[in-house]
Amino acid sequence: MQKNIFLKAVLILAVIGASCWYAFPLGKRIKLGLDLKGGMHLVLRVDMSNLTKEQKKEAPERALEKIRNRIDLFGVSEPSIHLQGENQIVVQLPGLTDREAALKLIGETALLEFKLVNTNMQEFSEALKGNIPEGYELRRVDKTQENVLLEKEAVLTGSTLVGANVGFDQSSFGEPYVNIEFNSEGAKKFADITTNNVGGRLAIVLDDKVLSAPRINEPIPSGKGVISGRFSPDEAKGLAIKLKTGALPAPIIIEEERTIGPLLGRDSVNKGISATIFGAVCVFLFMAVYYLLPGIIANIALVLNLLLILAGLGIFGATLTLPGIAGIVLTLGMAVDANVLINERIKEELRLGRPLRMAITNGYGKAFNAIFDSNITTLIAAFLLFQFGTGPIRGFAVTLSIGLLASMFTAVVVTRVIFELLLLNKAIKKLPMFGLIKDTKIDFIAKRKIFFTLSIFTVVLGLFIFFSKGQEMYGIDFAGGQIQEYRMDPVPAVEDIRNSLKEAGLSGSIIQRAKENMQDKAQKLVIIRTHEDAAASVEKNLKNSFPASKIDALRIEHVGPLVGKQLKDKALLALLYSLAGILLYIGFRFKHFDFAFAGIVALFHDVLVTIGFLALTSRTVDLLIVSALLTIAGYSINDTIVIYDRIRELMRFNRKVKLRDAINLAVNQTLTRTVLTTVLTLFVVISLFIFGGEILNDFAFSLLVGFISGIYSTIFIASPLILVLQRRRR
């Protein structure tokens, strides 16, 4: 036995060492998501409506290759570019700050055309009056706004280009231009065009924009030319990249855009970490004071649990996002719960007069089933969420899965080995622990009708408010549209901002002023919602209208209606599949679907109550809120299973006990654990709500409501409902 304990201790030390290796340094091992680091997330759709059946098969792959080449030449570090579905391309550009340049680089098809200019003044004058000759078009040069009459048919295209790079004209104060070079076929055509049209003008047209229309002074046989057009250095660089990589095979439509400024990303990280540390310190202090030595051992397990999560993220190369932080919050709660369950079981055994070693052994043995069932149930849900969810939800599922496995190991193995080592060395002879709630004998079943009625009223009222608000309840993730957030100091009046936006043609914008967190006395955030992509014009308008204000763009998110519907459908599908998995497992494990059905009802109760309170407080539902609802669902079912396990245990050892009595006894016996776990988890959630900043505020509010509803539904809904279902069955 002594040998086994030391082998386990060596194994634990090896795991700690390996975890430190894979977790640190954090900046190198763990990648932060764009919502924490800043950058751009784009979902692009390849418009194949005008392509032939052979072209449609190749277009997405060719578009992906062209976009990847452009981004590589643009110099973005660690970009992520991959196909999604049949015709979508997902692009992630971490740390990118020049939003307009990136969108222009990715979205433009880069169709370069050379068109001859009609220099006949009489025909040009008639064209200005509206009498445009057949085969011609009246256009305007993009930079100079000069009108030119062009031939519709291009005499040469960029398909024969072999090179493009930026040069600087020293005779005009270093103005940038783009050198181009054709292959032999293109060079011959270019030479013929310039030879036959000396004295005329040749317009250079990119993606239907006339960049310039220079005069042909002499034949150019070299196959080399220059494109000028009063470019900025960045514009010249972007044009050279697009010409070098070639035209896209089809137009690209930006279906979804999420641009997070580095300032907001840094704030989210700092506030999220600060809030989590504050909440965790509260948990550690409470555990140490309340459980004394077992509490200190539990705290060691919690620290190791966090280390294992970070190591797991490092091993799998996972990316930590805000929904991932939600997964950590849930696993922290479940890790606390496992340690509370064990300590409460040990306390029960000591009260029965068991020797210390036997009390610890029995405590772990009796707590194991509840810990195992609750963790496995949540793992099933996490697996199904990963299979059917979208990016943010999958990130939540990955973090949750790693955390659950880590909490099982730390709570069941690590703390047990520490106890055994202390016992072996005779370092402990007794385990004094406080008792928050003395033995209670409350008849929860007798009050079931009151609480059923209260719950039905609350859920129905919440759903009524939710559906009465309609599309107003959905964030842009699901409803589509655009949201822009700026930090302004000082912040102008909302009416002044609204009047300034009318100049940009955005009179229907929704404008909201907000605080960064609950400690802020002044409202420094301005949130603007529109139904169209107008971020550039809005920011320009704000800077022009309020020059005295310091303006920082924090985030810009744009979601098209098609992507919004897809995100909504996938989120709903992921939730339904995870609930189905929970239902099947509980039904199988407890040999009766009455337990499973009652647990699912309680889970739905908590989710719907949370949605009702979101509607009541005018908070919108987006992907981050969906992650919160999934967290609530996992926490709720975990709570319920602990009581179910106690009911099963009571009925197994006393077959004469009635179900009603078993339920009441189980709820009373686990009441301390239910209250303690919820209170300890709420330390972290309240900390996130108060100190976590504006981005995490709605998320933390949802968890706050859901976790409080969870303790209520576990006691007053899930447990009594089993009795009701079985009586109806009889």
Q: Which residue has the higher pLDDT, 131 or 471?
A: 131
Write down the CATH number for the domain with range 481-559. 3.30.70.3400
Buried b / exposed e along 266-297 (16+ C-beta atoms within 10 A): ebbbebbeebbebbbebbbebbbebbebbbeb
CATH of domain 2-99: 3.30.70
Q: pLDDT exceeding 90 applies to what percent of the chain?
A: 19
Is residue 542 pLDDT above 90, yes or no?
no
What are 315's two structure tokens? 């091993």
Q: What is the pLDDT of residue 565?
A: 77
Residues 6+ apart with CB under 8 A from 255: 43, 44, 45, 88, 559, 560, 562, 563
Express each pLDDT in 220-247 by its tens digit: 888 888 877 677 888 888 888 877 777 7
> Both tokens of residue 497?
């901002």
| Segment 285-320, tens digit of pLDDT | 988 988 889 999 999 999 999 999 999 988 888 788
The CA-atom distances, in angstroms, between 526 and each of 123, 495, 537, 624 are 53, 12, 16, 20
| Res 535: pLDDT | 65
More confident residue, 385 or 368: 368
Q: How confident is the model at residue 436 (pLDDT cuts 50, 70, 90)?
A: low
Dump pLDDT digits (tens) for 491-502: 888 888 888 877
Q: What is the pLDDT of residue 266?
A: 73
Please give the pLDDT value at position 204: 85
Two tokens, residue 309: 């999560």
Residue 691, class by beta-carbon neighbours within 10 Å (0-12 exposed, 13-18 middle, 19+ buried)?
buried
Q: Give CA separation, 161 vs 245, 249, 618, in Å.
A: 10, 16, 56
Q: Contact, 459 vs 608, CB < 8 A?
A: yes
How many other C-beta atoms can be found within 10 angstroms of the C-beta atom of residue 191? 16
| SS3 of 243-291 | HHHCCCCCCEEEEEEEEECHHHHHHHHHHHHHHHHHHHHHHHHHHHHHH
Q: What integer pLDDT is reported at residue 482 of this predicted model?
A: 81
Computed over every residue of the chain, the mean pLDDT equals: 84
What pLDDT was estimated at residue 466? 93
Q: What is the pLDDT of residue 16?
A: 93
Highest-confidence segment of 384-388, 607-611, 668-672: 607-611
Name the residue with higher pLDDT: 382 or 363. Answer: 363
Q: What is the average pLDDT across 696-721?
A: 90
Q: Which fold has domain 261-430+445-470+564-729?
A: Multidrug efflux transporter AcrB transmembrane fold (1.20.1640)
> What's the confidence (pLDDT) of residue 536?
67
* 398 pLDDT higher than 90: no
Closest CA relative to residue 346, chosen from 294, 292, 420, 300: 294
Do the beta carbons of residue 573 and residue 388 sit within 8 Å? yes
Model confidence at 633: pLDDT above 80: yes
d(CA 371, CA 645): 9
pLDDT at 167: 86
- Tokens standing for 536? 């550039």
Cα three-residue angle 187-191-194, rounded to 5 degrees: 135
Which pLDDT does position 534 carry in this prediction?
Answer: 67
Q: Is the pLDDT of residue 468 over 90?
A: yes
pLDDT at 360: 92
Q: What is the C-alpha separation between 412 and 305, in angstroms, rounded?
A: 12
Contacts for 610 with CB less than 8 Å, ≥ 6 apart? 628, 629, 632, 702, 705, 706, 709
The yes-or-no verdict on residue 452 having pLDDT over 90 is yes
Determine what percent of the chain is predicted with pLDDT higher than 70.
96
Nearest to 348 by CA among 435, 279, 238, 443: 435
pLDDT, position 373 = 85
Considering only 154-168, 286-300, 403-417, 682-696, which range has the smallest mean pLDDT? 682-696
- Taking the C-alpha atoms of residue 513 and residue 197, their distance in angstroms, rounded to an integer, is 60
579 band by pLDDT with thresholds 50, 70 and 90? confident
Q: What residue spans in the chain does CATH classification 3.30.70.3400 cover?
A: 481-559
pLDDT tens digits, 501-539:
777 677 667 787 777 665 666 667 777 777 666 666 787
Q: What are the C-alpha distances in Å from 68 to residues 82, 105, 262?
A: 9, 11, 23
Tell me what the mean pLDDT of segment 614-620 comes to.
91
Other Cβ atoms closer than 10 A to 572: 13
Mean pLDDT confidence for 174-203: 88
Instruction: Please name the residue that has the structure tokens 């303006």.
Output: 551
Highest mean pLDDT among 141-145, 628-632, 666-670: 666-670
Kindly state the greatest CA–CA separation across the chain: 112
User: Which structure tokens are listed for 203?
Assistant: 């317009």
Q: pLDDT at residue 210 above 70? A: yes
Q: Was domain 112-247 assigned CATH 3.50.50.60?
A: no
User: With bands split at pLDDT 50, 70 and 90, how would you rate the model's confidence at 165?
Assistant: confident
